[in-house]
Amino acid sequence: MKSFDVIIIGGGVVGTAIARELSKYKIRIGLLEKETELAFGVSKSNSGIIHPGTQNPANSLKGKLCVQGNLLTRRIAKELGIDFQEVGELIVAFNEEERLRLLQLKKEGEILGVPRLNIVDQEWLKKHEPNLSLKIVAALHAPTAGIISPYRMAYDLSENAVKNGVEIFTSAKVENIKATPVENIGREFAFEINTSTKMFKSKYIVNAAGLFADEIAGMMGIDDFKITPRKGEEFLLDKKRENITNHLIFPLPSKTSKGVLVIKTSDGNPMIGPTAEDVTDKKDVSTSDEGLQKVLFSVKRLVPSIKGEDIIAYFAGLRPVSGDDFIIRHEESVPGCITVAGIQSPGLSAAPAIAAMVKDLLKATGLRLRRKLFFQKHRNKTTHLFAQPLWKTKKTIQEDADFGDIVCRCEMVSAKEVKEAIKRGAKTLDGIKFRTRAGAGRCHGGFCTTKLMKILSQETGKPLTKITKRGPGTEMIKKDRADG
Amino acid sequence: MNKKIICIECPQGCDLMLDIQDGKLVSVIGNKCAKGEAYAAAEIQNPMRILTSTVLAENMSFKMVPVKTSKPIPKAKIKEAMKAIKKIRLNRIVLIGDVIAENLLGLEVNLIATRDC
Amino acid sequence: MVERELVIVGGGPAGMAAAITADENGVKDILLLERDQYLGGILNQCIHPGFGLDYFNEVLTGPEYADRFIKKIKNIPEIEISLKTFAVKLTQDKIITYIKPGTMESIKAKAVIMATGCRERTREMVHVAGTRPSGVYSAGLAQKLINIEGLLPGKKIVIVGSGDIGLIMARRFVLEGAKVEAVIEVEKQPSGLVRNVVQCLEDFDIPLFCGHRVSGIFGQDRVEKVCVVQVDDMLNDLPETCFEINCDTVLFSVGLIQENELIEMAGVKINKKTNTTDVPGMFVCGNAFKIYDLADTVTEDSSIAGIQAAEYLERLI
């Protein structure tokens, strides 16, 4: 049995942000993830927006943590070598009535502390967003909105956390938790955690299990919240359309979502979506014809030149919804358990602030946090050919010939980058794709899949028949001729 | 008896109308070349196909060596031929045209490599 | 910067034919860039017969057809072959930047022939709804897995689209011991050659559903089933005709598209009628120019591009 001071359940962007935050202190931390790789749950379908903090209810955790998170994300991105682009966002109005709502949003945003909000007129829009619909009369400009890769964020946070002593266990699905009341929280092991692979005990539990946070809570007798999955279908456009907008484009928000957006991504491909549909099945990530029609219809209103033919990929994600706000609290009924649930939008933006809040909660319950003298806060930036200019690539290849061995032609990813991703923890084709973009382009892996499978097989020693898309059950191959 | 078939000898894919009496081909119409007639005759008596596949090479730079039958083989023998082909293991460099297996299934047809490997 | 007379991007049937005819027409310095480790392009995985009937007047397989050109090219000293070489940029000044293991170079060409081929349209391009399990492949990828790597990607197959590669793969799967449950084609007629419908489907009793489309792919980890629905003349679904087919693999053979991103990025326009572009001395041939049914026709048309490039270079002197 492995024992830790704190066990974090859930290896999405929230769990990894918490792990990294706590790794600054002299405590033993374990992180459990049920999937084969980190960020394979809610985080993988995140749209990568770092929100400025607008569109959140007053006095909400969402609003407060989003504004803080927006600032913290920039610092973390610098420390970990993750690309963060402050592209700004525009919430658009089609008529006078909507323009008045913009003013209201601006006021609300300013109360939450969102900086530099301003209303821009049609003339400004024509100059800065020439592809926007001419029917748009004004927009609320939030210059501090930005974009980041949600999965690279999770991977880089976890890598840095590991460097600072955190132990990560993937394919470790929590099956039951035994919570024993203890006299001294923080001194004694209050929790015994049984997973599909190993047993653990810990003094504290941080429940950041995303869609399954209610089930984890239920194992400890906490049953006052439920997670309802809210499905969002997203559609990725060809990189050729990278500059179709210069900002993130939002319609006015509705009650259940921020609406269907035109999203710039740090991978280059614009994204359109998401839809918002409450579902019951936590595994239902199917897309529908209706979803596509709805998204296309909605974004054409914003940017009329977007076409169905521009779409090269689509997927659906599930937002872990529980009421209107995040639930982040210490469970008085189960001392030592911190719940981090209902982290839907703006969860990615808020993640670093959530991590800081969890740290404070742990401290308040008695966890002794002494800073490490040698916390390694920096991480060397991963080289991605697609993210650097060609003159630099020339140097990169001269230094390491493997960078000149291009495996994914659509996204220009080299064998070196793929091998590096595997070294950093990629175990599956999706894991490679999320880290490097290999297979994420317009041919959808038609050309590079065999090469990626072979590299994965060589680097991990697994036979080709055991290479998977995203874990057990998703093997790519049924039979190898060499096996007779 | 009349029977309609499509000639597969070339990409033109002619629609052939066959007149068959007592299991024998009496006449063909619709073919644009002589190959059509021969094809029709064979289709009635014993349809023949060239079989292409791959053979496993062991510890060579190529894992699979593409092969074909040197002549068409009876369609009915394709399954059996595939079984035999899958059993072959190559451990030498082969050149295009090299015989990989002689007299496959006793059909007086050789299996030959279609690429330098 | 190094200057070259003629640079050809792509060493498949188009690029090879262009290189050979350019040489025959007097070009003394030809550089042929190929991203793969072999010449021949997609022909290498097309191990089935059906090539060369027009051009050589004999029945050849893809690798055999390619071999004739590869051997010829290797004997022409004026043609320099650069393998594992990936062109990343092209400019209107005919400067080509390419990457290969260990190096990145930019060269200035007097004439350029782009023969970069095509790619397959994907599930995403035809917008098939449902889940994203393992077991969804393009027909060409399945062809590569089976023919080059010796790996069988599935055992119960449904093929979407009746393009030639899809039909040929239907037969190939059966020969390898898999079961092909159906081929689903949205149009009223199969899109591949009739001979392939006969020798790949009918020979093996594989059902072909024309006027139907796959409306959804389902399965959590691996493909479990597809939903098929009949469509009317306007290609609208007839919902009451919906049925399911259990399978573990879905293959897409829904057409090819030219892969000429380099030309597009350079802002160069292709002249639709000839192999030329709006940049003098820059030519496009093969599937990068337009999608062909037969490799033989690619060879014939690409030879013309080789002649055009030679004539252009002659005029420069």
Q: Parse chain B into domains and list their residue ranges.
A: 2-45, 52-113
Q: Find where tokens 């897995």 sit.
A: C145
The upper half-sphere exposure of residue B85, i.e. CA atoms within 13 Å in the direction of its Cβ, equals 27
Average pLDDT over residues B10-21: 89
- Confidence band for B22, pLDDT divided at 50, 70 and 90: confident
pLDDT at A186: 84
Nearest CB among C50, C61, C203 relative to B75 is that of C203
The interface predicted TM-score of the complex, written ipTM, equals 0.96
**Contacts with A450 from chain B: Cβ below 8 Å:** none
Q: What percent of chain C has pLDDT over 90?
A: 99
**C-alpha dihedral sign at C239, C240, C241, C242:** positive
Nearest CB among B10, B50, B82 relative to C175 is that of B82
Q: Are A10 and A172 in contact (CB under 8 A)?
A: no
pLDDT at B106: 96
Average pLDDT over residues A287-312: 95
- Confidence band for A331, pLDDT divided at 50, 70 and 90: very high
Nearest to A231 by CA among C249, C248, C128, C129: C129
Record the tokens describing residue A177, joined without a space.
Answer: 């938790």
Average pLDDT over residues A374-388: 95
Q: Are C113 and C285 in contact (CB under 8 A)?
A: yes
**Contacts with C267 from chain A: Cβ below 8 Å:** none
Q: Which CATH number fits domain C121-252: 2.130.10.30, 3.20.20.30, 3.40.50.280, 3.50.50.60?
A: 3.50.50.60
Query: In this predicted model, what pLDDT tens digit does every residue of C187-196 receive, in sequence order?
Result: 999 999 999 9
- Where residue B45 falls (left for φ over 0; alpha for ψ -120 to 50; beta otherwise) is alpha
What's A369's DSSP letter?
Answer: -
Nearest to A195 by CA among A30, A19, A17: A30
Q: Are A160 and A425 in contact (CB under 8 A)?
A: no
**Contacts with A394 from chain C: Cβ below 8 Å:** 104
> Which runs of consecutive H residues, i.e. helices, occur in A23-56?
none
CA distance A90 to A245: 10
Which residue out of A451, A453, A481 would a mutagenesis test of the B interface target, given it has the greatest number of B Cβ atoms within 10 Å? Answer: A481
Record the tokens describing residue C262, joined without a space.
Answer: 């380099």
Q: Do C141 and A445 touch (CB under 8 A)?
A: yes
Domain ranges of chain C: 2-117+259-316, 121-252
pLDDT at A185: 85
- Identified catalytic residue from A51, A141, A247, A384: A51
**Contacts with C222 from chain A: Cβ below 8 Å:** 473-475
Q: Are A4 and A202 in contact (CB under 8 A)?
A: yes
Q: Do B64 and C198 touch (CB under 8 A)?
A: no
Average pLDDT over residues C260-280: 95
B73 to chain A nearest CA, in Å?
Answer: 24
A50 to chain B nearest CA, in Å?
Answer: 48
Q: Do B114 and C146 touch (CB under 8 A)?
A: no
Q: Do C152 and A479 touch (CB under 8 A)?
A: yes
Nearest to C26 by CA among C6, C43, C9, C11: C6
pLDDT at A449: 97
Nearest CA in chain B to A482: B56
The chain-wide mean pLDDT, for chain A, equals 96
Q: Are A404 and C100 in contact (CB under 8 A)?
A: yes
Q: Which residues contact A219 (CB under 8 A, 6 or more apart)?
A: A174, A176, A177
Which residue out of C33, C118, C141 would a mutagenesis test of the A interface target, given it has the greatest number of A Cβ atoms within 10 Å? Answer: C141
Query: In this predicted model, what pLDDT tens digit does every residue of A438-457 receive, in sequence order?
Result: 999 999 999 999 999 999 99
Tell whether A466 is within 8 A of chain C (Cβ). no
Tell whether C38 is within 8 A of chain A (Cβ). no
Query: In this predicted model, what pLDDT tens digit does every residue of B27-83 receive, in sequence order?
Result: 999 999 989 998 998 998 899 999 999 999 998 889 999 999 999 999 999 999 999
Helix axes A429-436, A415-423, angle to 10 degrees: 110
A481 to chain B nearest CA, in Å?
Answer: 7
Nearest CA in chain B to C148: B64
Query: In this predicted model, what pLDDT tens digit does every residue of A117-139 receive, in sequence order?
Result: 999 999 999 999 999 999 999 99
Nearest CB among C120, C133, C150 relative to A446 is that of C120
CA distance A214 to A282: 12
- Confidence band for A290, pLDDT divided at 50, 70 and 90: very high
CA distance A401 to A357: 45
Nearest CA in chain B to A481: B56
| Side chain identity at residue A377, one-letter code | K
Q: C: neighbours with 3+ CB pairs under 8 Å?
A: A, B
* A51 is annotated as an active-site residue: yes
- Where residue B103 falls (left for φ over 0; alpha for ψ -120 to 50; beta otherwise) is left
CATH 3.30.9.10 given to domain A85-146+228-321: yes
Fold of the domain built from segment(s) B2-45: N-terminal domain of TfIIb (2.20.25)
Average pLDDT over residues A136-148: 98
CA distance A275 to A232: 4
Nearest to A155 by CA among A459, A455, A430: A430
Q: Do A473 and C89 touch (CB under 8 A)?
A: no
Task: To the nearest 10°, report the CA torsion of A73, A75, A79, A81.
Answer: 50
Query: In this predicted model, what pLDDT tens digit does every residue of C202-211 receive, in sequence order?
Result: 999 999 999 9
A66's enclosing H/E stretch is helix A61-80
What's C197's DSSP letter?
Answer: I
Under CATH, to which class is A1-84+147-226+322-381 assigned? alpha beta
What's A466's DSSP letter?
Answer: G
CA distance A61 to A267: 29
Query: In this predicted model, what pLDDT tens digit does every residue of C143-153 receive, in sequence order?
Result: 999 999 999 99
pLDDT at A254: 80
- Decide if pLDDT at A57 tops 90: no
Q: What percent of chain C has pLDDT over 70?
A: 100
| Side chain identity at residue A130, one-letter code | P
Q: B: neighbours with 3+ CB pairs under 8 Å?
A: A, C
SS3 C75: coil
Give CA separation, C45 vs A188, B58, B113, C40, in Å. 63, 19, 14, 9
- Confidence band for A182, pLDDT divided at 50, 70 and 90: confident
pLDDT at C134: 98
Nearest CA in chain C to B50: C49
- Decide if pLDDT at A484 tops 80: no
Give CA separation, B73 vs A330, A375, B10, B48, C278, in Å. 76, 72, 18, 5, 51
What's C303's DSSP letter?
Answer: H
**Contacts with C146 from chain B: Cβ below 8 Å:** 54
**Contacts with B55 from chain C: Cβ below 8 Å:** none
A205 to chain C nearest CA, in Å?
Answer: 30
The CATH homologous superfamily to which domain B52-113 belongs is CPE0013-like (3.10.530.10)
Record the tokens describing residue A367, joined without a space.
Answer: 């966890």
B103 to chain C nearest CA, in Å?
Answer: 20
Number of H helices, E strands in chain A: 12, 22
Query: In this predicted model, what pLDDT tens digit does every residue of C115-128 receive, in sequence order?
Result: 999 999 999 999 99
Nearest to A31 by CA among A167, A125, A161: A167
Nearest CB among B11, B51, B96 relative to C193 is that of B11
Residues 258-297 of A with CB under 8 A from C: 283, 285-289, 291-292
CA distance A310 to A290: 18
Tell whether C154 is within 8 A of chain A (Cβ). yes
Sheet of B64-69, strands arranged across? B89-90, B52-57, B64-69, B111-113, B99-101
Q: Which CATH number fits domain A386-476: 3.30.1330.10, 1.10.10.10, 3.40.630.40, 1.10.10.1100?
A: 1.10.10.1100
Q: b vs e for C161-175, b when ≥16 Cβ sit within 10 Å of the residue's Cβ?
A: bbbbbbbbbbbbbbb
**Contacts with B8 from chain C: Cβ below 8 Å:** 195, 198-199
CA distance C299 to C293: 12
Fold of the domain built from segment(s) C2-117+259-316: FAD/NAD(P)-binding domain (3.50.50)
- Decide if pLDDT at C235 tops 90: yes
